[in-house]
Structure 1
Amino acid sequence: MLKFNINYFILALLLFAAEVLIAIYAHDTIIRPYGGDLLVVILIYCIVKAFVNAPVWPTTLGTLAFAYAVEVSQYFKLAVHLGLGHSKTAMLLIGSAFAWGDMLAYTLGIIIVLLAEYAVAKYSLYFKSAKIWTL
């Protein structure tokens, strides 16, 4: 069901800004290749949740499957086969090099999402049951 969620949208904007900063300023062997991949699945998840009121598990599994599909397409050089090998934008979005480390980073990103969603659900239930906001 379509339903705009400002919290996920703001988080998506912050994650996008972090991705841009990583792309511009991080030229190392850890943060740029793996930190960016870890954050991108969280970003995709937040974008979906910003516009679609869907349960956590299907959304996380769908996000992870999408990330895996993009990575596998890099293994098969999909961008080149589609005639987009000359396009810097296509190569940036689709990618060009498969890496198992990227798959691990995507998986860790989704685990972080699941842990965060669990914590938010647990503590929001705690605060509702404690009735600390009511007089």
Structure 2
Amino acid sequence: MKFQFSLKYLLLTIFIFLVEVLIATKLSNVFFVRAYLGDVIVVMLLYTFVKSFVKVNDQKLILGILIFSFLVEFAQYFNIAEKLGFRPGSLMYIVIGNSFSWIDNLCYAAGCLILYIFIKVTNNDRLTSTPNL
């Protein structure tokens, strides 16, 4: 792991964050999008955020994000946001979450799998492509 700033990943982070805000605010009526797609995308947001500042092994990062996501979800089971003193409706209460769901864990896993496949495919394309002469 090495600290290294990446404007590309920071811009991707901002874009994905704006998509998440759009999902939470404007697409809350669309059940599938609000309930599932946001959880699939949030692991990608975490990935791009970390990659904005740190050069790290992709597989280890994706696994770490999956474990972190599971831990946060299981903490919701124990009402961690309330125990930490966050009031319902506050930003941190919303970020941490307030209701445990097994489906959320499946969404996090799906997001990590999609991210893993995307990284593998794009890295293989870079390794196997021949330079233009």
In the other structure, the counterpart of 2:4 is 3
Aligned residues: 131
Displacement of 1:86 in angstroms is: 4.3
Extract structure 1 runs of 4+ deviating beyond 3 A.
Answer: none
Displacement of 1:87 in angstroms is: 5.5
User: Per-residue CA shift, 1:22-65, capped at 9, x if unaligned?
Assistant: 11111222101111111001000110011110001110011111
In the other structure, the counterpart of 1:20 is 21
- Structure 1's unaligned 5+ residue stretches are none
In the other structure, the counterpart of 2:104 is 102
- The structure 2 residue matched to 1:82, chosen from 80, 84, 107, is 84
Change (3 A) 1:131 1:40: same
- The structure 2 residue matched to 1:122, chosen from 117, 124, 129, is 124
Q: RMSD of aligned C-alpha atoms? A: 1.2
Displacement of 1:102 in angstroms is: 0.5
In the other structure, the counterpart of 1:131 is 131
Q: Give the TM-score taking structure 2 as reference length.
A: 0.92
Displacement of 1:14 in angstroms is: 1.3
User: Per-residue CA shift, 1:48-92, capped at 9, x if unaligned?
Assistant: 011110001110011111111110110000111222234521210
Displacement of 1:105 in angstroms is: 0.5
Identity of aligned residues (%): 34
Point out the more displaced range, 79-88 or 24-33: 79-88
Q: Give the TM-score taking structure 1 as reference length.
A: 0.91
- Structure 2's unaligned 5+ residue stretches are none
Displacement of 1:107 in angstroms is: 0.3
Cα distance in 2 between the residues matched to 1:89 and 1:13: 18
